[in-house]
Amino acid sequence: MKELDGKVAVITGAGSGIGAALAAACAVEGMRVVAADVDAAGLETVVAGIASAGGEAVSQHTDVRSRDALEVLAERAWGTFGGCHLLCNNAGVMVNKPLLELEEADWRWILDVNLMGVVHGIGAFVPRMKAQGGEAHVVNTASMAGLSAFAAMGLGAYTASKFAVVSLSEVLAQELAETDIGVSVLCPGAVVTRIHESDRVRPTDLEDAAPSSLSADANPESVPGAQTAEETAQVVLRGVRENRLHLITHPEMKGVVEMRHRAILEAFDSAAADR
């Protein structure tokens, strides 16, 4: 989808971080923006910033754990702007705990937001996008942790959710290959956002989990080579225009992914030798 001007972008997790940067970048391109998040105050700041710069945006309080909420978001996009051409399933949260310390409440929150939020977005929007006709694009936010396992800082649950988003996106791209709807999966390395402060938006019904025993600093700003959210947004827009499936922000992490795939290929060689 090379032409963005005049199109409509819907972005979840738009109240801060990558989502907020995407909303601003889309508005600069001349897109009309529907910004969604559970953080109402953050949303209003983002929408006000777009308006003050001459862009057009509306906000919609949305809990991506709910399919009904995504249906309402879709109705808002079509009712306000007449469609959706770029869907960014970007909402995400993080829990920093070793696997053996994770409680069911932790797993439910991580998977309901990071994975089911994407599932709900696809289910609510893609049929409508197909029906409206013309070019469109879906961007699902995963992580470099969706391409290689990271045990550091207790990212087990987060990594599991992001691996699922990568595979889901790859299948969706195959299923939509004969349509005008492109698919991308964003796999960023360290980006300066507030995801390490995810507990600020943790729902009250899932607040009973015990704190982590980890003392590691999960703040992305502490990671060498951390990228700004604005830089990441530009990676996304380039990827949309070029219809790239995998969107990578940190090429220097290629070796980590190669190491994982090399181990898998060696396992095939071992299986062949055993046979």
Express each pLDDT in 2-18 by its tens digit: 999 999 999 999 999 99
* Among 40-44, 132-136, 152-156, 227-231, the least confident range: 152-156
* Given 158, 173, 218, 232, the catalytic residue: 158
* Among 34-38, 97-101, 202-206, the least confident range: 202-206
When pLDDT is averaged across residues 27-39 and rounded to a whole number, the result is 98
Domain ranges, ordered by start, for the chain: 8-274
**pTM exceeding the 0.85 threshold for the entire prediction:** yes
Span 134-182, pLDDT tens digits: 999 999 999 999 999 988 889 999 999 999 999 999 999 999 999 999 9
Separation between Cα atoms, residue 91 and residue 127, nearest integer Å:
20
Does residue 127 come out as left (phi exceeding 0), alpha (psi in the -120 to 50 range) or beta?
Answer: alpha
pLDDT band at 212 (very low <50, low <70, confident <90, very high): low
217 or 261, which is more confident: 261
pLDDT band at 213 (very low <50, low <70, confident <90, very high): low
Q: 34 by DSSP, 3-state: which?
A: strand
When pLDDT is averaged across residues 218-243 and rounded to a whole number, the result is 86
When pLDDT is averaged across residues 19-32 and rounded to a whole number, the result is 98
Please write down the HEC assignment for all residues of 93-142.
CCCCECHHHCCHHHHHHHHHHHHHHHHHHHHHHHHHHHHHCCCEEEEEEC
Does residue 194 come out as left (phi exceeding 0), alpha (psi in the -120 to 50 range) or beta?
Answer: alpha
Task: Please report the pLDDT score of residue 223 as a whole number.
Answer: 64
Annotated active-site residue 158? The verdict is yes
When pLDDT is averaged across residues 214-228 and rounded to a whole number, the result is 66
Does pLDDT of 221 surpass 60? no
When pLDDT is averaged across residues 206-215 and rounded to a whole number, the result is 66
When pLDDT is averaged across residues 73-89 and rounded to a whole number, the result is 98
**Interhelix angle 17-28/40-52, nearest 10 degrees:** 20
Contact assessment for residue 133 and residue 81, using Cβ atoms and an 8 Å cutoff:
no
What DSSP character marks residue 236? H
Secondary-structure class of domain 8-274 per CATH: alpha beta
Does pLDDT of 218 surpass 80? no
Strand partners, 86: 9, 137
pLDDT band at 199 (very low <50, low <70, confident <90, very high): confident
